[in-house]
Amino acid sequence: MGATKLDIYDQNITDIAMIAKVFAHPARVAILQYISNQEACICNDIVDEIGLAQPTISQHLKVINDAGLLHGNYKGKSLCYCLNIDRFKAFQELLNSFFNTTQTNCC
């Protein structure tokens, strides 16, 4: 009990849910917005910007990264996280395809 029953849903449904989960925490939305607005995107800057501890930010970054939304390059001693814009746009399209195939048929 307690755990999500993943085996009973269609693949496209679990895909939508997994994408939405990335955006389902304000820290991750804020991180994504921040990264996309900066030229250099160093993790410690995010810690300063958002009022959360460094391990917490790092944990959220891992969730975002596991979803394939980041790629990082080393620049000096700081890690530069950048948005994987192709993946990001693919997420947008998947969500829109769900929204657009949904209609109201009754009431």
The listed partner (its own copies, DNA, none) that binds 32, CB under 5 to 8 Å by sort, is its own copies
The listed partner (its own copies, DNA, none) that binds 60, CB under 5 to 8 Å by sort, is DNA
Size of the site for DNA (CB under 7 A): 30
Grouping H, G, I as helix, E, B as strand and the rest as coil, residue 44 is: helix
Among 2, 79, 1, 63, CA closest to 27: 63
- Cα separation, 67 vs 49, in Å, equals 23
Helices (H), 1-107: 11-22, 26-37, 43-49, 54-66, 85-100
**Binding mask of the shown chain, residues 40 to 79, with x at each position contacting DNA by CB under 7 A:** --xxx--x----xxxxx-xxxxxx--------x-x-xxxx
Within 26-55, which residues bind its own copies (CB under 8 A)? 26-30, 32-33, 36-41, 50-52
Angle between helices 26-37 and 54-66 (to 10 degrees): 80
At closest approach, how far in Å is the CB of 68 from DNA? Answer: 15
In the complex, which residues of this chain contact DNA (CB under 7 A)? 1-5, 21, 24-25, 27, 42-44, 47, 52-56, 58-63, 72, 74, 76-79
